[in-house]
Amino acid sequence: MMSTDEHHWATDYDIFDPTYIGDPFPIWDELREKCPIAHTDRHGGSWLPTRYQDVTAIARDVEHFSSQSISVLPPPDVPAEGGLLTAGLPPISSDPPVHTWSRRLLLPWFSPKQVDDFEPITRALCRRLVTGFIEDGRADAAADYAQQIPVRIIGIVLGVPEEHSDLFTGWVRDVLEFATDIPRRQKAVGELVTYFVTLMEERRGGDGTDLISELLRSEVDGEPVSDPHILGTVALTLIAGVDTTWSAIGSSLWHLATHPDDARRLATEPGLMPTAIEELLRAYSPVTMARIVNEDIEVAGCPMHAGDRVLLNFPGANRDPEQFPEPERVILDREANRHVAFGAGIHRCAGSNLARMELRVAIEEWLARIPEFRLADNAEVTWAGGQVRGPRTIPVVFPPARPV
């Protein structure tokens, strides 16, 4: 690629630039050496750390860096539906002490025991999806498979019909993938809010076992949890639980399609799966989060001011050679792997157990039926980026087989 001086990545980066979305790794490498915390005035202005030590330090410093606005873009003005959006997206957009109790309400839904209950459902779904295209000898590993899995599992958590999956997928993409299209983003948020407000009213006072019903019955310090808080938590569960995981699944399948030795090894050595999952998460971490500076502070020589936006570049941190030897290589049996694909500090992803399970099962079930596959000739692989980076199309071919 051209140098950072020619591209002005150090002083004028754009995380929505097609070059950045398509291949950000050399950009991070050069910034890490020449300007480890870059700055831009685009999209309201922000800082972009690229070193593991800086990203993790900022993520853990809740005193100086607030989570009140975690979007990589300043939030648009969206109709508040009677003020029901005022709580943000707790717990991810909350600072202590609200963060503490709001996270506690959510964690049981993503505990190891709960995730174990979801695994047979996820496995059956993956098998059904593969059966749908295995006779064709070709598929879009992103659209036909990866993108179909998390939205349906999150739908079960929320207690919504599977036939609404495409509706949810559209909202999530409009909020994250098309975030720079403000009218489109506003429309999606408004529709999402209306949908969940209606569900909350339908389930209020009921005995449902879904997350929405449980939150409506929850109390904190003897008081019911407010409707704005419940709405924000439900919206977060959908937005954070869908695109992030399908991007991780899609990126992993893209890697295996372009690295047949790794695919063959995983198919024949299932004992590698635990370390391989962590390595794929490290190498293709999808999520960048933001923080807002609470008060003037200097980080690695960069003077940040109150109100500045800082982009926690977890994917870049996971490619830092000071932390991970040969970070550009996917080493399926890498042992020392303290990656931050799920973040760091108190805001570390509450749904990490579920995401890991979905990624593992998706790969296991794909390789069980399609151990050999590659990108189709002249395949156009497209990527989305910004808040969440992942492939949107992955045309692959494989020997066709009879469904089972």
Given a cut of 70, whether residue 251 has pLDDT beyond it is yes
Q: Is the pLDDT of residue 403 over 50?
A: yes
When pLDDT is averaged across residues 152-181 and rounded to a whole number, the result is: 93
The tens digit of pLDDT for each residue in 357-370 reads 999 999 999 999 99
Q: Which two tokens stand for residue 302?
A: 């960069």
**CA nearest to 294, candidates 282, 283, 280, 310:** 310
Mean pLDDT computed over 392-399: 97
- pTM of the predicted model, to two decimals? 0.95
The 10s digit of each residue's pLDDT in 51-83 is 999 999 999 999 999 999 999 998 765 444 444
Structure tokens at 58: 């900022």
- pLDDT-derived band at 186 (thresholds 50, 70, 90) equals confident
pLDDT tens across 216-228, in order? 999 999 999 999 9
Contact call for residues 197 and 231 (beta carbons, < 8 A): yes
Q: How far is CA 326 from CA 40, 49, 318, 332, in A?
A: 29, 20, 11, 13
Q: Which H/E stretch holds residue 293?
A: strand 289-293
Type of residue numbered 296: D
Dmax (CA) for the chain in angstroms is 63
Query: Can you give the length of the chain in residues?
Result: 404
Inform me whether the pLDDT recorded for 19 exceeds 90: yes
Mean pLDDT for 381-390 is: 96
Alpha-carbon gap, residue 63 to 292, rounded angstroms: 11
Average pLDDT value over all residues in the chain? 93
Residue 178 pLDDT greater than 60, yes or no: yes
Tokens 């979305």 found at: 21
373: nearest Cα among 400, 393, 392, 391: 400
Each residue's pLDDT tens digit, 125-158? 999 999 999 999 999 999 999 999 999 999 999 9
Rg (the chain; Cα; Å): 21
Going by the DSSP 8-state scheme, the letter that residue 340 receives in this structure is -
Q: What is the pLDDT of residue 295?
A: 96
- pLDDT by residue (tens digit) across 188-243? 988 999 999 999 999 999 999 999 999 999 999 999 999 999 999 999 999 999 99
Q: Which tokens belong to 318? A: 């996971």
Per the DSSP assignment, residues forming a β-bridge with 291 are 310
Per-residue model confidence (pLDDT) at position 179: 85
The whole-angstrom distance between residue 138's C-alpha and the CA centroid of its chain comes to 27
Q: Please say whether the beta carbons of 158 and 231 come within 8 A.
A: no
- Cβ neighbours for 18, distance < 8 A, ≥ 6 positions apart: none
Three-state DSSP at 200 gives: helix
